[in-house]
């Protein structure tokens, strides 16, 4: 039964990666940039919930909403202040380096505000664990909520993009910014909206992540952030189902690697996956092939 | 034997047949034009000739040598050089270094020679500089040789691109809309320059152009492309008088 | 005339390093430097070497490597392993250091080359994230590596030091997360200065050679570079390998400035890669002299000057700055990037510059 336990643990972790990966993949697809700071927005979201529930005594659900609002505002501000000025810069490295700077800034601001000591995050999930096969297989409440949240978000996001006007505008911008602008779409507004949605999702991911893995410090979001980007690349950057599949596969690979190969090498295994994917199929599982125009 | 001989060249993108049954023969020292409406597949032909795309069918021969399916750098080594419709210079390199970069394969020296400044390094670099300056003189760019390429005005950038292509010492020069964005005066001086290059270097030149004055003024032969297929081909005057060509250009 | 201008620029760069050595070395030897400043001299050298080497990748090749600390790690560990391993074979510690230096450089070049083959098929964001991945893998591997020696030879393990099954008198050289202990602290400001000069020399000469032109042409326009027959893969690999080798050189200097060498996320992880990137950006992307100066200025300000000022009187601003170095680095990185790369900022600056010229 331990195999099944690992599998479920992997799917649970993978669902968190998937939610984070959605933020990466949307921003990458629409703004054509790697938002390195995305992982740190997760950490800010988790800290917001932590402070709100422990110090202000706010109900966890209200705290999550608050975290979503704060992360959304933060995402929009980051885009406006740090990334938008660099749109159209001579080198594509410019915005990437700036994003790394923003990631560092968020980490160090958190260090300043919250200190470097890891906080013990109290799970927001109150659902009792599910016991199967006479108690041999236990599925925690956190796992159940995480997986359900992941499915709901995926369906919601797909509907939003396919059925609503802003969603269609997002698709148009991701296809061709210039053409979208000529069609009267407010490209800057759509990019800001993308950051807003991605950041709100990051807040949810942060809460789910810390509910399952309760240690919270300023660097909490950094590694899961990078791994979620790996997941987004794995699934095919720009593809929403790709982010889901990539996230879950990566979570399973990580937990299996930790259990069956080496706990210390788990991160290395995840990165090895990235390297193999990019070399064998750079567009990921569900990505589109892009040819450079001459 | 023609300098460039293309037989039944074709390529599809997805379901679209971008170039179909394309045939072309350019003699050594000829100035030849490739014209056609927008989207006719002219640049795609250039990309096929230079190995940017691999053809689905057909044969490309340069000076009798079959170069079909070779990679871009090997085609450059075989002797085809090109310019681009949207200028592609090395913006952060000096004008002189742009041309010297073009001489890369013709003037090698051992890698460590550049680190230790051996006599071979000195000799080769001096040779390259001398040749590059001569080439720049032809294009009225000698006085600008220290500037960064990106700081040159548009017309000079176009000329520099031609100079860089010539620096590879090619057998065949492909020019993709060399007069695009130029005023009539600039176009006139460009025409003189292209003719001069042909006469001075004995160069074979194939060019894509929309400016009919330039085409009729300097091209000795013409191929008209429409929807990826050859519409008309032959001596410039007769091609331009062809009713099918006039229809394709002016519409029904 | 053109050549003279470049030569003059280069001479200034070498001159700055030589002048710093000429001033600081006698002061250090005469004991006129405080121990805190004296202790910063070798770090200045390896930070500068690392910044110069990363600038070769970022500024000259035009790709971002986020795994640069990984190559530094390879250089540090292979050389420290060698110098410790041969401690009782080669008596002279400088000879050992020199051989260790060659080994460290060779290994990091080799690893750079091997990683470069697959990685350089990618570009931009993907290349950056894959180099980050490789950097983390290197760090992880070093942390599970155990090597010992006894009369029967050398023993490896990926588990723990007991699994080495050493004889009682055998010694563990690399002990997983505990790393390598008892390293000769051979690094000095003299050696560091010489190595920095060598790194700058190699990079500047490379840039001004035929190979450098090829590398920069790929940076400026890959498609055009291919069209004139430049072998893109070969030259990308050349730049990447040299860059890795020089980072390894910095690592050798780093390792032999410490008694104990461990691979943590602080020294060989992503953090270090970012710190080096801050130096490169602050000194100017593609500006080699800037990469020499920036780490010195930044460290001198944040480490030395700040501490001196604090001694004069406590001040909340100063205290904040010295407590939150990385925060300052982050802000420096963002502000400089926007100031120097934003199209609007560039246009505004040019307008200002032109107006200034007209008024003259």
pLDDT per position as a tens digit, B159-172: 999 999 999 999 99
Chain A residue whose CA is closest to C280: A97
Contacts of C among chains (3+ CB pairs under 8 A)? A, B
Indicate yes or no: CB of B109 within 8 angstroms of CB of C210: yes
Higher pLDDT, A129 or C85: C85
Is the predicted pLDDT of residue C358 greater than 60, yes or no?
A: no
Rounded average pLDDT over A226-243: 89
Beta bridge partners of residue B225, listed in sequence order: B230
Instruction: Give the long-range contacts of residues A83-87, CB within 8 A, separation 24 or more.
Output: A83/A31, A83/A33, A83/A35, A84/A188, A84/A191, A85/C338, A85/C342, A85/C344, A85/C345, A86/C337, A86/C338, A86/C341, A86/C342, A87/A31, A87/C343
Separation of alpha carbons C40 and C44, rounded Å: 6
CA dist B198 to B77, B170, B171, B194, Å?
A: 20, 12, 11, 6
Chain C residue whose CA is closest to B84: C224
Indicate yes or no: CB of A101 within 8 angstroms of CB of C326: no
Chain C interface includes B68 (CB < 8 A): no
pLDDT in tens, A41-62: 999 999 999 999 999 888 999 9
CA dist C228 to B84, B201, C222, Å?
A: 12, 18, 10
pLDDT in tens, C217-255: 999 999 999 999 999 999 999 999 999 999 999 999 999
pLDDT in tens, A26-42: 999 898 889 999 999 99
Domain-embedded: residue C333: no
Q: How far C345 CA sits from the closest chain B CA (Å)? A: 18
Q: Maximum Cα–Cα distance for chain A, whole Å?
A: 64
pLDDT in tens, A163-180: 999 999 998 998 888 899
Q: What share of chain B in percent tops pLDDT 90?
A: 73
pLDDT at res. C359: 45
Closest CA to A193 of A178, A210, A176, A172: A172
pLDDT at res. A288: 67
Closest CA to C131 of C202, C57, C214, C60: C57
Rounded average pLDDT over B128-150: 94
Separation of alpha carbons A53 and A64, rounded Å: 9
pLDDT in tens, B41-91: 899 999 999 999 999 999 999 999 999 999 999 999 999 999 999 999 999
What is the pLDDT of chain B when averaged over all its residues?
A: 92
Separation of alpha carbons A26 and A21, rounded Å: 8
Indicate yes or no: CB of A92 within 8 angstroms of CB of C334: no
Chain C residues with CB-CB distance to B102 below 8 A: 228
pLDDT at res. A284: 82
Q: If you ran DSSP here, which 8-state letter would residue C259 be given? A: S
DSSP string, C26-74: HHHHTT-S-HHHHHHHHHHHHHHHHHHHHHIIIIII----S-HHHHHHH
Please check whether residue C227 is in contact with residue C218, taking contact to mean a CB–CB distance below 8 angstroms: no
Is the predicted pLDDT of residue C1 greater than 50, yes or no?
A: no
Please check whether residue C288 is in contact with residue C52, taking contact to mean a CB–CB distance below 8 angstroms: yes
Residue A138 confidence class, pLDDT cut points 50, 70, 90: confident
Residue A292 confidence class, pLDDT cut points 50, 70, 90: low
Q: If you ran DSSP here, which 8-state letter would residue A183 be given? A: T
Domains of chain C: total: 1
Give φ, ψ of B190 to 5 degrees. Answer: -65, -40
Domain-embedded: residue C245: yes
**SS3 letters across B178-226:** CCCCCCHHHHHHHHHHHHHHHHHHCCEEEEECCCHHHHHHHCCEEEEEE
Query: Taking the model in full, what pTM does it have?
Result: 0.90
pLDDT at res. C68: 93
Separation of alpha carbons B35 and B240, rounded Å: 10
pLDDT at res. C357: 57
Indicate yes or no: CB of A34 within 8 angstroms of CB of C128: yes
pLDDT in tens, A51-104: 999 998 889 999 999 999 999 999 999 999 999 999 988 888 899 999 999 999
DSSP SS3 for B59: strand
Residue A224 confidence class, pLDDT cut points 50, 70, 90: very high
pLDDT in tens, C131-159: 998 998 999 899 999 999 888 888 888 88
Indicate yes or no: CB of C330 within 8 angstroms of CB of A101: yes
pLDDT at res. C152: 86
CA dist B162 to A7, B199, C255, C304, Å?
A: 61, 15, 52, 55
pLDDT at res. C112: 96
Q: C199: how many CB neighbours lie within 10 A of its CB?
A: 28
Is the predicted pLDDT of residue A228 greater than 80, yes or no?
A: yes
Indicate yes or no: CB of C220 within 8 angstroms of CB of B109: no
Indicate yes or no: CB of B165 within 8 angstroms of CB of C211: no
Contacts of B among chains (3+ CB pairs under 8 A)? A, C
Domain chopping of chain B, boundaries: 1-79+170-252, 93-167
Domain limits for position C132: 2-276
Is the predicted pLDDT of residue C302 greater than 60, yes or no?
A: yes
CA dihedral A169, A174, A179, A182 (to 10 degrees): 40
B50, B115, B116 member nearest C227 (Cβ):
B50
> Residue C141 belongs to a domain with what CATH number?
1.10.3470
Rounded average pLDDT over A116-131: 84
pLDDT at res. C57: 96
Please check whether residue C55 is in contact with residue C280, taking contact to mean a CB–CB distance below 8 angstroms: yes
Is the predicted pLDDT of residue C4 greater than 70, yes or no?
A: no
Separation of alpha carbons A234 and A100, rounded Å: 21
Is the predicted pLDDT of residue B240 greater than 90, yes or no?
A: no
Domain-embedded: residue C170: yes
In the structure encoding, which two tokens stand for residue B121, read together? 């390094």
Chain B residues with CB-CB distance to A91 below 8 A: none
Is the predicted pLDDT of residue A286 greater than 90, yes or no?
A: no
Residue C360 confidence class, pLDDT cut points 50, 70, 90: very low
Residue C109 confidence class, pLDDT cut points 50, 70, 90: very high
Chain B residue whose CA is closest to C6: B146
Superfamily of domain B1-79+170-252: P-loop containing nucleotide triphosphate hydrolases (3.40.50.300)
Rounded average pLDDT over B15-22: 90
Residues 6+ apart with CB under 8 A from A148: none
Give the dihedral sign, CA C130/C278/A20/A180. negative
pLDDT at res. C327: 87
């Amino acid at each position: 039964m331990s195999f099944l336990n690992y599998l479920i643990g992997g799917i649970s972790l993978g669902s968190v990666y998937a939610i984070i990966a959605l933020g990466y993949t949307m921003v990458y697809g629409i703004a054509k940039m790697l938002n390195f700071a995305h992982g740190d927005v997760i950490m800010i979201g988790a800290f917001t919930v932590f402070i709100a529930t422990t110090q202000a005594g706010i109900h966890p659900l209200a705290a999550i909403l608050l975290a979503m609002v704060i992360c959304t505002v933060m995402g929009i501000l980051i885009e406006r202040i740090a990334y938008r000025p660099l749109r159209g810069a001579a080198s594509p490295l410019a915005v990437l380096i700036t994003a790394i700077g923003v990631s560092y800034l968020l980490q160090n601001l958190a260090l300043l505000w919250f200190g470097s000591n890891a906080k013990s995050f109290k799970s927001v999930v109150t659902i009792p664990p599910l016991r199967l096969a006479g108690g041999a297989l236990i599925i925690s409440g956190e796992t159940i909520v995480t997986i359900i949240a992941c499915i709901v978000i995926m369906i919601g996001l797909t509907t939003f993009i396919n059925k609503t006007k802003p969603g269609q505008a997002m698709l148009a911008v991701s296809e061709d910014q210039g053409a979208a602008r000529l069609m009267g779409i407010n490209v800057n507004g759509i990019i800001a909206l993308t950051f807003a949605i991605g950041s709100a999702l990051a807040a949810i991911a942060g809460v789910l992540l810390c509910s399952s893995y309760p240690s919270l410090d300023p660097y909490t979001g950094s590694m899961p952030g990078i791994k979620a980007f790996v997941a987004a690349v794995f699934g095919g950057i720009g593809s929403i189902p790709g982010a889901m599949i990539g996230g879950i596969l990566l979570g399973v690979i990580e937990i299996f690697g930790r259990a069956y190969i080496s706990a210390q090498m788990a991160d290395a295994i995840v990165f090895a996956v990235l390297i193999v994917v990019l070399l064998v199929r750079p567009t990921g599982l569900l990505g589109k092939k892009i040819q450079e125009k001459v | 034997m023609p300098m460039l001989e293309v037989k039944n060249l074709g390529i599809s993108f997805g379901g679209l047949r971008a170039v179909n049954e394309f045939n072309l023969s350019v003699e050594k020292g000829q100035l030849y034009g490739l014209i056609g409406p927008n989207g006719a597949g002219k640049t795609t032909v250039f990309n096929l000739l230079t190995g940017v795309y691999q053809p689905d069918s057909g044969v490309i021969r340069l000076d009798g040598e079959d170069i079909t399916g070779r990679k871009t750098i090997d085609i450059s080594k075989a002797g085809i050089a090109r310019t681009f419709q949207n200028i592609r210079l090395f913006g952060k390199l000096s004008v002189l270094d742009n041309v010297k970069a073009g001489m890369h394969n013709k003037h090698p020296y051992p890698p460590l020679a550049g680190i230790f400044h051996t006599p071979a390094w000195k000799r080769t670099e001096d040779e390259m500089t001398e040749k590059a300056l001569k080439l720049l003189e032809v294009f009225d760019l000698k006085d600008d040789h220290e500037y960064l390429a990106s700081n040159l005005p548009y017309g000079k950038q176009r000329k520099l691109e031609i100079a860089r292509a010539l620096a590879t010492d090619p057998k065949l020069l492909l020019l993709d809309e060399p007069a695009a964005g130029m005023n009539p005066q600039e176009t006139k001086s460009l025409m003189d320059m292209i003719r001069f290059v042909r006469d001075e270097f004995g160069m074979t030149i194939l060019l894509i152009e929309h400016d009919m004055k330039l085409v009729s003024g300097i091209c000795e032969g013409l191929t008209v492309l429409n929807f990826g297929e050859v519409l008309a081909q032959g001596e410039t005057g007769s091609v331009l008088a062809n009713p099918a060509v006039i229809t394709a250009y002016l519409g029904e | 005339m053109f050549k003279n201008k470049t030569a003059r620029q280069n001479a200034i760069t070498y001159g700055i390093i030589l002048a710093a050595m000429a001033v600081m070395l006698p002061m250090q030897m005469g004991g006129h430097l405080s121990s805190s400043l004296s202790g910063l001299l070798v770090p200045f050298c390896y930070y500068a070497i690392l910044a110069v080497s990363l600038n070769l990748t970022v500024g000259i090749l035009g790709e971002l490597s986020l795994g640069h600390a990984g190559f530094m790690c390879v250089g540090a560990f292979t050389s420290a392993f060698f110098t410790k391993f041969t401690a009782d074979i080669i008596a002279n510690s400088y000879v050992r250091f020199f051989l260790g230096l060659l080994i460290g450089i060779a290994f990091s070049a080799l690893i750079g080359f091997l990683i470069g083959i697959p990685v350089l098929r990618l570009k931009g964001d993907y290349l950056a994230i894959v180099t980050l991945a490789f950097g983390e893998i290197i760090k992880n591997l070093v942390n599970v590596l155990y090597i010992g020696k006894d009369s029967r030879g050398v023993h490896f393990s990926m588990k723990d030091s007991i699994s080495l099954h050493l004889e009682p008198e055998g010694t563990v050289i690399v002990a997983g997360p505990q790393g390598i202990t008892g390293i000769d602290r051979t690094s000095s400001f003299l050696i560091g200065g010489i190595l920095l000069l060598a790194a700058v020399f190699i990079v500047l000469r490379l840039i001004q050679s035929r190979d450098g032109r090829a590398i920069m042409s790929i940076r400026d326009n890959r498609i055009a570079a291919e069209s004139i027959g430049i072998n893109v893969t070969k030259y990308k690999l050349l730049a990447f390998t040299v860059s890795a080798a020089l980072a390894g050189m910095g690592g050798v200097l780093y390792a032999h400035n410490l008694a104990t060498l461990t691979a943590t996320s602080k020294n060989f992880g992503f953090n270090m890669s970012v710190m080096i990137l801050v130096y490169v950006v602050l000194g100017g992307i593609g500006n080699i002299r800037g990469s020499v100066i920036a780490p010195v200025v930044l460290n001198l300000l944040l480490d030395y000057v700040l501490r001196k000022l604090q001694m004069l009187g406590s001040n909340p601003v100063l205290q904040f700055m010295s407590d939150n170095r990385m925060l300052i680095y982050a802000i420096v990185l963002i502000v400089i990037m926007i100031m120097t790369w934003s199209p609007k900022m560039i246009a505004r600056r040019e307008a200002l510059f032109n107006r200034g010229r007209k008024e003259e």
